[in-house]
Amino acid sequence: MVGDVVGKPGLKAVREFVPKLRTELKLDLVIANGENTANGIGMTPDTVQDLYGSGVDVITSGNHAWSKREIIPYPESELPLIRPMNYPPGVPGHGYTFCKGALVVNIMGRVFMPSVDDPFRALDGLLEEVGHRTKVVIVDAHTEATSEIGALGWYFDGRVSAVLGTHTHIGTTDGRVLPKGTAFISDIGMAGPRDSVIGNVPEDVLKRFMTQLYSPLGVADGPVIFSSVLLDIDANTGKAKSIQRIDREAP
Ligand SMILES: [Fe+2]
Ligand SMILES: [Fe+2]
């Protein structure tokens, strides 16, 4: 799974590395978080097609799922494009999808995030409803706080194959398999411009922090980083055997 893909630099990194890694590592399923593909905020039909064209099987998202309105009809179709399942009822799209024998779920945290429904109970409910259909369950947990993602990991340990953090755009080094067999990491990190503040032009971000005035944020350019994790999951039991960071950089 690749973390948040940020703008054109992120799409470029995915195009560069996903096809190679698919062959090199004999990948069965590739997931990427697409919420920042459209110029840093949201997704468009073009940016999601770019990801599919690069060999991504399932696209997850987060708080920026609907930031570009032209994407809204998309997830109503059968495309493997999902948004956090714990948005309130009536929000467009779906919170999970089945792909290549796996159930891929998107949830969102509530600490320093939009006030969505309780992610713990929302995923409990989903597992009760459709969990019997497959042992392999991969969760993109879109969260800001390491405390909340950590709690989600331990709560679902042994009941899902992986709880993988996205949203902060900064990869963490705490990837491990929890005692009951759930692969966990606080954040995968992004695919996007290296010389940036979470993908954005540093000067733009500084202007906001130092004046507290609104100013638009541009996606940075230059060298790209590609942040992902490789999971080995036993398809018969759904237990994770390993989780390993796969990080790359390109000029
Ligand atoms: Fe993001
Ligand atoms: Fe996000």
Q: What is the pLDDT of residues 16-27, one digit of tens each?
A: 999 999 999 999
Tell me which residue range forms the domain holding 106. Answer: 2-250
pLDDT of amino acid 112? 97
Residues whose CB falls within 8 Å of the CB of residue 16, separated by 6 or more in sequence, listed in order = 224, 226, 248, 250
Domain count of the chain? 1
The ligand minimizing its distance to the Cα of 141 is 2
**pLDDT confidence bin for 15, thresholds 50/70/90:** very high
CA of 172 from ligand 1 middle (Å) equals 15
| Cα–Cα distance measured from residue 100 to residue 1, given in angstroms and rounded to the nearest whole number | 14
Q: Please state the separation of Cα 171 from the chain's center in Å.
A: 12
Q: What is the CATH number of the domain that holds 49?
A: 3.60.21.10
Angstrom distances, CA of residue 126 to CA of 24, 106, 107: 34, 11, 11
Q: Is the pLDDT confidence value at 48 over 90?
A: yes
**pLDDT confidence bin for 77, thresholds 50/70/90:** confident
Residues whose CB falls within 8 Å of the CB of residue 241, separated by 6 or more in sequence, listed in order = 177, 232, 233, 234
Q: Is the pLDDT confidence value at 75 over 80?
A: no
Q: Is the pLDDT confidence value at 12 over 90?
A: yes
pLDDT of amino acid 149? 98
CA of 195 from ligand 2 middle (Å) equals 19
In degrees and rounded to multiples of 5, residue 224 shows phi and psi of -115, 145
CA of 6 from ligand 1 middle (Å) equals 7
The ligand minimizing its distance to the Cα of 6 is 1
